[in-house]
Amino acid sequence: MTIDMNYFCAMTILLVVLFALIGFALGRTRSRVLVMGIFLSYVAAQVCASFLVRGLNFALSLDIADEILPYFEAAIFFVSVIAVLGFLFGMRYTHTFRGRVVGLLLGALSGYFVSVFALEFLRELLVGVPAEQTVMFDFSYDLLDRAGVFVLTINFFSNPEGVYTLLSRILPLAILSFLFLLLLDTFNWLFRLLGGASGAILGWISITGGGGEEEVAT
């Protein structure tokens, strides 16, 4: 069997699986924080990179060209993602299996975001890198009185632009899913806040009213 596999398709699959496992370990709540942290890391990379270049040019009298900007964007993005992961793994947590499954799905979404955002920053720099390569795997078998060798050949090739085009087609749906999670968490927090405030007000009214009745009875 021969399979033609894009390096960056393989990278995307590995990232999705990796972050799905991370999401399974973190659980539902912290996986939502992970998705938001990765999304905000992308925003930070877009905004801070140009600010950093302008600041270096002004403070050190440099002349850093705009061609260097993708390097700064990619560096800030990857450092931010690593920082988010380190923060989450440093927290103590307990989870149910259901929460871990939801975390696995959210982690897969995080892996997709990391892949598509990384390719957005790096696809112009990665054209032709790595070079084409062929990998072969031999599996000998002895089954039902038949023996032989199964040969799997994978032809890797480099086409980051094609993978980015494919992944970007899913991006609107992924962003809408992220916004839905964000709004859901926001409204849940707002309802809890309003519920707590209403409970405090009703408690204060009941205590005040009860004290008034005691005075009248006296």
pLDDT in tens, 19-34: 999 999 888 888 988 9
Predicted confidence (pLDDT) per residue in 89-124, tens digit: 766 666 788 888 889 999 999 999 999 999 998 888
Rounded CA gap, 32 and 103, in Å? 8
Q: Quick one: which of 161, 115, 98, 162 has its CA closest to 18?
A: 115
17 vs 218, which has greater pLDDT?
17
Query: What is Dmax (Cα atoms) for the chain?
Result: 100
Please determine, for residue 179, whether its predicted confidence score (pLDDT) is greater than 60: yes
Which residue carries 């002895």 as its tokens? 142
The separation between CA 215 and the C-alpha centre of its own chain, rounded to angstroms, equals 61
Rounded CA gap, 191 and 213, in Å? 32
Please determine, for residue 50, whether its predicted confidence score (pLDDT) is greater than 80: yes
Rounded CA gap, 190 and 192, in Å? 5
The model's pTM: 0.77
3-state helix, strand, coil in the chain (%, to 5): 70, 15, 15
Q: Two tokens at 8?
A: 């960056």
pLDDT of residue 151: 93
Q: Quick one: which of 135, 194, 130 has its CA closest to 159?
A: 130
Asked if 136 and 153 count as a contact pair (C-beta separation under 8 A), the reply is yes
Collapsing DSSP states into helix, strand and coil, what is residue 142? strand
